[in-house]
Structure formats: C-alpha cells, structure tokens
Structure 1
Amino acid sequence: MNFDPRVGATNLTVFSSGGRIIAFSSSTSVFLVPQDTNQLFWLAADSQRAYVGLTTQGHKRLYAQALVPFANPVPWGQPWILQAWFRLPRQENRLTLGVRNSYARYEKLRFFRAPLKLSFILTLTLVLLLSLLAAASGALYAARRLVAPIQSLIEGFRSVARGDLGVRLPLSSRDDWGFLSHSFNAMAQKLADAQAVAHQSQSQIERERFYLETVLSRLTSGVIVLDNELKVSLANDSAVETLKAERHELLGQFIAGFAAWHPELSEFVSACIEAHRSASGEFQREIAMSHGLNRRILLMRAASLTVGELHTKGTVIVFDDVTSHLQSQRDAAWGEVARRLAHEIKNPLTPIQLAAERIQRRYQPLLDVPHAEDLAGLTATIIQQVEAMKRMVNAFSEYARSPDIHITRFDLNQCIGDIAELYREQSPSIEIALELSEGQLWIEADQARILQILHNLLKNSVEALHSLSHGHICVTTRMIPDSEEVELSIEDNGAGFSPVILEHAFEPYVTSKRKGTGLGLAIVKKLN
C-alpha cells in the first residue's frame, strides 16, 4: 500500500476482522514493522465502529490511534479495519502525557487507597498507642517525681508521730519542695531539742519526786496532799500507818469516800475538807478519834498549795498522832501530883495516928464506961482513916515511882495459877477459871511488874463482882500465831464501865467505885 503524505499519519495498516495484516505503510523509521493489535483494535473489530485512542510509542511519544472499519472489496468477505497512527505535536504530547501520567497515578492511588487507608489507620493507631504509652509513662514518671517529695514528707511525719525525731528529709532541690523539706527538718530538730529538754526536765522531776518521797517516807508525821477535786494525790507511809488504812484506799480516791471505809475517821475527813475550803489558807486542829477501846488524838495542820498569787493547786495536810505524847505529858503531870501529894500528906499522917493512940491510952481510963467507949470509937475511926490515907499515899507513891526493870525468864502460866489460888481463897464465892495454853509458857519480862499487873486486874475484877451472887472470872493465855508474843486476857461478868468512864479508864483517879483510888488501871498501863 502506497502512503499518501497528505493524510498526516505516520503509518497506516489494514487488518482483517481476525487481526491479520492486509496492508501496511509507514512514513517514519519508527514504524518499520506494523504494530500489533491492542485492546482498542479488538473493540473496533467486535463492534464494527470507529475508535480513536492514544498510546505511547518509543521515548514517551504519544500517538493517536484511529481504527475505522470499512467494507471488504470482496463481496462475500468480512469487513476490514483501517488503523492509522498520528503523532501529536510536542505541546499536546507533553500535556497529554502529563494528564495521562496523572490519571495513571490517580488510578494507581485509587487502586491502593483501601490498603493505604488501612495502613494509615494501623500506623496512626500504633502511633496513638505509642503516644498514649509514652504519655502514660511520662505522666507516671512526672507523678512519681511530683509525689516522691510528698511521700517522703508523709513518711517523715509518720516517723515523727511514732516518736522517731531523728528522721531527716533529703534536700534535693531549691524549689518549694526543697523549702518544705528544709522546714520539716528544722521542725524535727526543734522537736528533738524540745523532747531532749522534756526528758531532762522529766528526769529532774523524777529525781525531785524520788527525793521528796524519800524525805516523806522518813517523816514520822503523816502527810496527805489533796487536789482541787478533793482527791488524795499523795500520801506517805506514816499517813497510811497512822490512819491504819491501805494505800489504795487513799491514793487517787476522794477524801470524802474514805470515811465510808473507816467510819472512825469521819471527824478527820471532815477536818480535811474544812481545811481545804479554809479561806485563810492555814488550818490547825486537834482531833480525838475513838475506835472500840482505842482512843487516839491527832494534831492536824494544813496549808494551801498555791501557784503564783491567786491560783490554788491543792492542800497539804500534816498530822501527828500525839496520843502517846499527850499521855506521857499527862502521866508526868499526874506522877508529879502523886509525888507531891504523897510527900505532903504522908508527913502529918504519922503524928495524927500517934496522937490518936496516945489520947486513947491516956484518957480512956479516966472516963466512965459510956464516954470511954465513945472515945475508943472516935480514936479508932481516926486511926482507921489514917490507915486508909496511908494506903492511898502508898498508891500515889507507887504510881509516881518508876521501878527498875529486871528481865528474867519465867513461866507465865505458873504465876497466873499461883495468884488465882490466892484470890480463890480470899473470895470463894467467885469462880476463877483458867484457860491457859498447854504446857509451860516461858516469857522474858520483869516478873515483879507482871505479878503487880495480875494483882491489880484480878483485884478490880473481884471488887466488881462482890455485888453478884454468881461471879465469874476467866483468865486466858495463848501464843499469837506467826510471832513470839503472848496474849493475856482477863474477863469477868461484871457490869463493866460506862461509856464516859471507858474513854478515860486508864487515866489516874478515874474510877466507878466509891472507895477506889482510880490508880489500879493507870498503874497497869504504866507498867505495861
């Protein structure tokens, strides 16, 4: 086939409907060989319609491919297809190639859009997770760095609360936390210094308290301290011993409740309350207390404990059992009185008795019988009363005299038996029973004093039973368990003492008998 340059195509090719080349013509060396059929050719062959498309040939040169079906010259033959290639100008080639490349890239990107989207999603998800992990790690690290000083501060306060004042926080920075740590360390140091001072003060207080307790324990006077609520805050050993109470009954207890434990001390408790409420701040009183046969006298002095000029902290009460002291003074006074009475009375008694006897001897023979009898009765009365006065003076002398003590070892039961036999003979109407300990009861004492005591006690009992038809006296001895002491008791079924006399039974010149001197029990107590 001859190529006509006027057509403008670079080559022309005639194909049969089956793709066989019928004819070919080219105007350039680029198309020396007919081009193979492509997808566009088969579209034109199948549809028998003309198609135009662009394709690349050589070095990215674009050509327009035109396919036009036409009738076969042979009447019974299939249609042929004319393919013509047209080279585009440079400008259109560049633009078209750019559009084509862009479209190709677009198609490529559109093809990879779903995988890229999934990849981007996975990538972003991974980046997000990594970011979250990094943020959490950073936040945790920052929180740890932020909380670390707080935790350290909390641990420091807990240690201080437990009493460990030696804890110190590290000064790792100069920010607010560093200032707070420095303040905590300063506070802990001040607390440690204050604790050391408190311990030192406590030790000094304990030493002073021990010294005070030692001094109070050595005092013979009883000391009680009452607080503002009338509770006993301090009581020394002498106070417990003098009041004959237990320590737990005093310490920490209300003084008013102490009377419930010991009713005999009710007057003492009332005096303590009155001393505490005394406006003058000083109080002194002598208190007499009786419990059974025991009668005691306490000399109580009290003063207010003040802090400053106005505030009252409590009351200190000091008391002494002056019973023995007063009794000694009373005994000494009575002894002096008895000694003087014995001296002043005994001297004229002998001349009076001698004068009465001389009058009787001299004038009785000179009188008639009636007058002589009267004279004899009068002189006998004088002599009898003088003898009574002598016996009383001798009792005074015996009470005033303090005989020497001679300690010997003797059997107390035997002495009691001998004296009991004497009084049985003198008073056969009175039954004297002996309930003595088994065997011999050896003691070490002044035998003369013991005999005098037994004589005085048995004499008092016998004299108290003369008015009774069935008098009974029981003398008992026994060893006190867990000790080396002996108990001697003399009981009778007499009328006993009245309450008024019982309180002063052992004092001189106190008696319930019309003819008694009142010195028997006083001598017994003095000899005891």
Structure 2
Amino acid sequence: MFLLTQATNNREFYERNYGRLFVLNMVVAGLLLAVILWVFVRLASRLRRGKFGSRLLVKLAAIFTLVGLVPGVLIYVVSYQFVSRSIETWFDVKVEGALDAGLNLGRATLDTLSSDLAGKTRSAAGQLSETPDATAGLTLERIREQLGATDVVLWNAGGQMIASAGQSRFQINPERPTPQQLRTVRTQRTFTVVEGLEDPAFATANGARIKAIVPVPQPSLGLLAEARFLQSTVTIPPTLVANAIAVQEANREYQERALAREGLRRMYIGTLTLSLFLAVFGAVLLAIILGNQLARPLLLLAAGVSEVAAGDLSPKPALQGKDELGGLTRSFADMTQQLAEAREAVELSMEQVSAARANLQTILDNLTAGVIVLDPEGHIQASNPGASRILRIPLEDHEGTPISQVPGLESFGQAVQQRFDEFLTETQIVDHWQQPFELNTSRGPEVPANLVTLVARGASMPGGSRLLVLDDISEIVSAQRAQAWGEVARRLAHEIKNPLTPIQLSAERLEIKLASKLPDAERAMLTKSVHTIVDQVDSMKRLVNEFRDYARLPAAELKPVDLNGLVNDVLHLYAREGDEARGSSHVPVRAELDPACPRILGDPQQLRQVIHNLLQNAQDATEGRPRPDVLVRTQWSEASRRVRLVVQDNGSGFPDHILKRAFEPYVTTKSKGTGLGLAVVKKIADEHGARIDLKNRMAEGVIQGAQVSLSFGVAS
C-alpha cells in the first residue's frame, strides 16, 4: 500500500514499476488470504472440540468482517464509477486547444523578448566601433546598464574575450560562443538563443536567460581591422519561466496520458481493486486479532480456574492492558499468588509441625521410660520403643487394641483402666496418678522372663486421651535388695561367725572331759552330739563365709580378656576336680566356642567365678537325669558388636516363682544351697556392664532345661 501510494504521486515511477508492484501486492494478498484461511481452520477446529471462547471468537470475527467488508464494497463501487468516468473527462478538445494556445503564447513571448534584446544589442554595438580594446570595459559597463543585462562580453573573431561587464568578469573560464554561432552572426548579423528552459529543474533553480550576439561595426578609417562581437545576456522573469515550464509540462503530460488513456484506466482500477482486497483481508485479519485480544483474557481466566481447581497454584499469566479484562486477569493472578503464599505458609507450618513431631518422636523413641497413649476406652493409640522394651511386648503390633486384651497384660491393663477411671471421677487435686506394679514378662520359650517391677503414672490429655508413662525400676529394686542382702551378709558374718568358734571348741572340750566318765551308751550319744554340733558349726562357717564374700566382692579390674581361653581354663580345671571328687557321677560338659570371638573387657578372676558358678548350677540341675548334658557356648555378633556366653542344661528348669527372683540372694532350689550363686553372677555381670538373661528351654510345650546367657562388650 505504501509503494502504491508513492507510485500514484510519481507517474513515471508508477508506470515503470507497476508490474512489480502488482505482483508484490498479489503475493501479500495471497499471504494474507492464507493466514486468514489458517486462522479460520483453527477456529473451526477449536469450535469442533468445544474449546472455551471459540464461539465468541467466531462471532467477533464475523462482526468485524461485516463491518469492514460492506463499507469497503460500497466505496469500491462508487470509486470504480468515479475513476472510470473522470478519466474520460480529463481528455477533452477544449483542454487540448487551451494547452496548445498557452504553449504558442509562451513561445511568441520568448521570441518577442529575443528580438527586442537583439535590436537593443545592435544599437549598443555602435558605441564600440571607435572604442579601442583597452578602454572597452567602461563602455561595456555603460551598455550593460542601458540594456539592463546581467552580463555583457566583447569577443574577438577567434572567440577570445576582450572585455566584459557583469557576471563573466568574475568567472575564470566564461562560456565562449561556438564557431557555429559566430558564423551565424556574420551571415545573419544577429544570433539569439533562449537557455534554461530545456531542463525544468535547472530553470526553476537557476532561472532562464536570453542571449544575443551581434557584430561590432568597423570604423571608417580601418584602424581596427579585426572583427569583434558583442554578447548581451538578459535573465527571463521567474514568473514567465514558471508559467512557460508549467504549460510545457502540462502539455507533455497531457499528450503522454492521452496516448495511454486505456492503460491508465486499467492501472487505477487495478490499484483500487488491490486496495479493496487488502482492506478486506486486513479487516478480516484485524477482526480475528481483535477478537482474540478480547477472548484471550477470558481464556486465561478459564485456564487459570481449571489449574487452580486441579490444585496448581503456580504463578498465572496476566495481561498488562488497562481495560477491565486485563485488570480481571491481574486480580486473578494476584489472588492465585496469595493462595500460593497461603498454601506455602500452611506447608511451612505443616513442615514445622512435622519436624516438631519428628523431634518429639525421636525424644520418645530414645526415652528409657515407656510412653503409651490410650483413648477413653483404653485402646492403644501410640507407644514408644521404651514401652515395648519394658513390657517385653511389641506394642506397635497391638495399636487399636485395648491394653487389657493384649496377651500377657490382661491384669495390668485392667488395673490401669480401673486406676484411670478412679482418677477421673475423683476431685483432681493433682494432675496425675502413680502406682507401682509387678509384671511377669514370660512370653514363651525363647523370650527371657523376669519379674519386672515398674512404676506407672497416668494423666489426662486434651480430647479425652490418656497418657500412661512406665518406668522400669527392676534394676533399682534389685540393687536395693542386693545392697540389703549385702548389709545382712555383713552383719551375719560379724554377728554369727564370732560365736561359732567358741561353740565348736566348747563341744569338743565337753567330749574330751566327759567321754571317759560316761557309760558306753551315753558316751556314744555324747560323741554323736558333739560331731553334730561341729558339723553344723562348719556349715554355719561356710554360710557366713559365702555371705562375707558376697558382701565384700571387690570391684572388677577390667582389661582385655580372651573369653574362650577363660572357658577352656575353667573346663580343664573343673573336669580334673570332678574326676577326683565325683568319679563316675561326673556330669559331662560340652563346649562350642566361636573362634571369631574378639577379646572382651573383663576381670579374669571374677569371670572364672561366673563360669564356675554357672557350670556348677547346671551340673547340679542335671544330676540324676537319664542323660545329663551341660553345654557352654560362645558366640560373636558382628551386628551388635558383642560376645555372648551361654550355659544350658537338660534339667528340670526353673520353677516359675524362682524364675521371677532368681538373681536375689538366698533364692535357690537346692536343699543345701545358699542361693548366692546367681546373685554373685548378677553382681559381677553388673560390674562388667554385661546383660544377663535367664529362661527355660521349651520344646512342644515341655521344659527341656534351663539357659543362662551373658552378653559382653568387646575391647576397643
């Protein structure tokens, strides 16, 4: 369109490039048509798929197309009629005659001016007939003023300048008359020419002029034989020049257009048709673009609402326009951003809550105390590993189960539930209740069983939940009992041992003094009584010594020790002592020692006593059995980094009441035992930081013997 507009103002440019412009515009129109068809195909596809905004885009495109097409067609019809008829009015006989008359008038005017200048120049040339060349300059200046010329020059016959007045004086190389012009002057006695009108641009810028050349008359005396010529130049008035050029150009253009009248009509009508096509296609494309601009905010909002509904709160695009739809998209984007920030704040709060919960769970998992959360009906809601360790039950497997229905905790659960009910019905002066319990943790043949003494504390929680905290005080009770027994043993050793020796000596002295004075029957009775007294005193002394040793057990001196070597040393000595003391009644001892066992930290002397006590108890338990058997075994656990010592037998096992309190002093199944063997073992184990477990070996519900195991840490 720009090129066509420029070409219309420049007819030569238009005529020269009309073909290229037409092809170029047809290409542009074809591209616009292709774009419009492609957009319509997309609109049809969107409409067929029922995509949001498609109907709105179609309506807007149709409206804008009609708005652009109907006025365009109307203007085209009117313009076509106007152009086709107005071109004919341009070419009229009167117009052509007027242009010819104007052109002739201009020519006649220029001829008159030229003749007048030639006559005046001829008259002025007479003033130079007697004037020598040296003084011709003053005469020429007077002639220039008389003629009103811009330039006056005196030439010789060879075309060389003799003198000048006017503009030529200041030119280094003024324009000289040609030989042909000089010959014309000699023959016709004058020569005039109009310069500058051939080039309209030059004439407009520099003006046109009339130049006249005449011969200078020869003097009568013939002193100056060489011919001379006088040239005068007068500038044509600018108005006359402009009018002449205008008439000349108009006539030329009129003649050219008259010759190309039909082509000019087709050219203008083609341009008009192209303009219509471009306007219509542009209107359609503009309709689609504007319709898309109107529908785009709605599409953005629809897409954003769908994403928000799906939970996507990422930043939404917003239009920067100043209209209401653009403001609506920005408001929606701001709302989405605020929702995203709110969700981030909630997620951060949740992360903080989760972190606090994880920290609390870590604390609970590492508490030595047991923590159980119960609902109002006594169902287990949560528990920590400490509770499972204390109760010897994996409580996480029983979540949702009433604590009174957990196997092994029936009575404990009922007591806890009853205590909670009493606590909640009482006027609560304190915020918790506390009560000790003794719990038998026997769960099967493979689980060590002990009597667990624990303290339970209960409190209410928000929402009706109940908090139960358990502390295992078995070790504390055992240590208190051990301390009490040590104190008893110390006092017994002090109070009983001192009178035993005088009693024994007095009995032996009575036998010596009275044996010879009594009849045989009384003497035999005296001797038997004295022997009984002495034997019982010896027994009392051994008992007191054992209590003394238990009370005065020295502190362990820990150092790296080879446990397998200690077991072999004890077995070697124990077997030899057994051979000498027991003979064929000796109970055999088998050993299964793990060669991978590293050294442990221990006191060799005390560990030998432990091994000896355990083997002695095992042999005593299997004595009288059909096939007595005692096994001592060592095991190395790479995972836990501990060494385990196990002594087991195939005796009758521990009775239930003994199993609960086996490590307390004076608890024994032997008729002649003091019950200090396992108590000493327990005390030495505590000194070594070892864990000791006691259980009965079961097979098909029948006790197959007892097993005692100790777990030691390795030397670094």
Q: Which residue is 1:526 aligned to?
A: 683
Residues 1:319 and 2:470 aligned together? yes
Q: Which residue is 1:415 aligned to?
A: 570
Opposite residue 396 of structure 2, the aligned amino acid is: L
Instruction: From the superposition, tell whether residues 219 and 378 of structure 1 become closer, same or farther in structure 2 (CA, over 3 Å).
Output: same
CA deviation string 1:117-152 (max 9, x = no partner): xxxxxxxxxxxxxxxx99999998897566444322
Which of residues 582, 599, 602 in structure 2 aligns to 1:427?
A: 582
SS at match of 1:256: coil
Instruction: From the superposition, tell whether residues 226 and 183 of structure 1 become closer, same or farther in structure 2 (CA, over 3 Å).
Output: farther
How far off its partner does 1:431 sit?
4.5
Q: Which residue is 2:632 aligned to?
A: 476
SS at match of 1:425: helix
State how 1:279-298 maps to structure 2 within 5 Å. Answer: 280=424, 282-285=432-435, 286-291=437-442, 292=445, 293-295=448-450, 296-298=452-454
Query: 8 Å contact 1:478–1:486 — kept in the other structure?
Result: yes
Instruction: From the superposition, tell whether residues 201 and 434 of structure 1 become closer, same or farther in structure 2 (CA, over 3 Å).
Output: same
Q: Note the residue ranges of structure 1 that are not aligned, 5 or more in a row.
A: 1-132
State how 1:21-420 maps to structure 2 within 5 Å. Answer: 147-161=295-309, 162-167=311-316, 169-170=318-319, 172=321, 177=325, 180-181=328-329, 184-185=332-333, 187-226=335-374, 235-239=383-387, 241-242=389-390, 250=396, 254-256=399-401, 263-264=407-408, 280=424, 282-285=432-435, 286-291=437-442, 292=445, 293-295=448-450, 296-306=452-462, 311-312=463-464, 314-406=465-557, 407=559, 409=562, 410-420=565-575
Q: Which residue is 2:655 aligned to?
A: 498
CA deviation string 1:145-197 (max 9, x = no partner): 6644432211222343443353264374665x567546534533432342243
* RMSD value, Cα: 4.2
How far off its partner does 1:220 sit?
2.3
Query: 8 Å contact 2:374–2:466 — kept in the other structure?
Result: yes
How far off its partner does 1:258 sit?
8.9
Greater shift in the superposed pair: 218-227 or 398-407: 218-227
Opposite residue 503 of structure 1, the aligned amino acid is: K
CA deviation string 1:251-270 (max 9, x = no partner): 8x62428999x844566666
How far off its partner does 1:287 sit?
4.8
Question: Matches of 1:329 and 1:338 in 2, distance apart?
Answer: 14
How far off its partner does 1:464 sit?
4.6
Query: 8 Å contact 2:458–2:467 — kept in the other structure?
Result: yes
CA deviation string 1:296-343 (max 9, x = no partner): 33433332321xxxx33x333332332222211221122222222222
Instruction: From the superposition, tell whether residues 181 and 442 of structure 1 become closer, same or farther in structure 2 (CA, over 3 Å).
Output: closer
Question: Matches of 1:475 and 1:460 in 2, distance apart?
Answer: 12
SS at match of 1:475: strand
CA deviation string 1:434-457 (max 9, x = no partner): 322379889654333233334434
Instruction: From the superposition, tell whether residues 442 and 225 of structure 1 become closer, same or farther in structure 2 (CA, over 3 Å).
Output: closer
Instruction: From the superposition, tell whether residues 349 and 205 of structure 1 become closer, same or farther in structure 2 (CA, over 3 Å).
Output: same
How far off its partner does 1:223 sit?
3.0
Residues 1:510 and 2:656 aligned together? no
Opposite residue 302 of structure 1, the aligned amino acid is: G
SS at match of 2:526: helix
Q: Which residue is 2:646 aligned to?
A: 488
SS at match of 2:441: strand
Query: 8 Å contact 2:381–2:399 — kept in the other structure?
Result: no
Question: Matches of 1:383 and 1:184 in 2, distance apart?
Answer: 107
SS at match of 1:402: coil
SS at match of 1:156: helix
Q: Which residue is 2:604 aligned to?
A: 447
Question: Matches of 1:166 and 1:350 in 2, distance apart?
Answer: 100
Opposite residue 585 of structure 2, the aligned amino acid is: I
How far off its partner does 1:419 sit?
0.4
Q: Note the residue ranges of structure 2 that are not aligned, 5 or more in a row.
A: 1-280, 425-430, 686-716
Instruction: From the superposition, tell whether residues 364 and 245 of structure 1 become closer, same or farther in structure 2 (CA, over 3 Å).
Output: closer
How far off its partner does 1:510 sit?
1.8
- Structure having greater relative contact order (Cα 8 Å, sep ≥ 6): 2
Opposite residue 488 of structure 1, the aligned amino acid is: V
TM-score w.r.t. length of structure 1: 0.60
How far off its partner does 1:523 sit?
2.3
SS at match of 1:170: coil
Opposite residue 350 of structure 1, the aligned amino acid is: T
CA deviation string 1:178-235 (max 9, x = no partner): 6754653453343234224324423432443344344334432233445679776655
Query: 8 Å contact 2:404–2:410 — kept in the other structure?
Result: yes
SS at match of 2:592: coil
How far off its partner does 1:238 sit?
3.7
Opposite residue 664 of structure 2, the aligned amino acid is: E
TM-score w.r.t. length of structure 2: 0.46
Query: 8 Å contact 1:430–1:465 — kept in the other structure?
Result: no
Opposite residue 163 of structure 1, the aligned amino acid is: D
Query: 8 Å contact 1:431–1:473 — kept in the other structure?
Result: no
Question: Matches of 1:454 and 1:237 in 2, distance apart?
Answer: 33
Question: Matches of 2:599 and 2:404 in 1, distance apart?
Answer: 40
User: Share of identical aligned residues, percent?
Assistant: 33
How far off its partner does 1:383 sit?
1.9
Comparing both structures, which one devotes a greater share of its residues to helix? 2
Question: Matches of 1:155 and 1:469 in 2, distance apart?
Answer: 88
How far off its partner does 1:288 sit?
0.9
Question: Matches of 1:257 and 1:186 in 2, distance apart?
Answer: 52
Comparing both structures, which one devotes a greater share of its residues to strand? 1
SS at match of 2:588: strand
Query: 8 Å contact 1:336–1:400 — kept in the other structure?
Result: yes
Opposite residue 368 of structure 2, the aligned amino acid is: T
SS at match of 2:440: strand
Instruction: From the superposition, tell whether residues 512 and 200 of structure 1 become closer, same or farther in structure 2 (CA, over 3 Å).
Output: closer
Question: Matches of 2:433 and 2:287 in 1, distance apart?
Answer: 78
Instruction: From the superposition, tell whether residues 512 and 206 of structure 1 become closer, same or farther in structure 2 (CA, over 3 Å).
Output: closer
Instruction: From the superposition, tell whether residues 287 and 362 of structure 1 become closer, same or farther in structure 2 (CA, over 3 Å).
Output: closer
Instruction: From the superposition, tell whether residues 278 and 197 of structure 1 become closer, same or farther in structure 2 (CA, over 3 Å).
Output: farther
SS at match of 1:405: coil
Question: Matches of 2:501 and 2:625 in 1, distance apart?
Answer: 40
Query: 8 Å contact 1:250–1:258 — kept in the other structure?
Result: no
Opposite residue 643 of structure 2, the aligned amino acid is: E
Q: Which residue is 2:121 aligned to?
A: none
Greater shift in the superposed pair: 212-221 or 374-383: 212-221
Query: 8 Å contact 2:632–2:648 — kept in the other structure?
Result: yes
Q: Which residue is 1:16 aligned to?
A: none
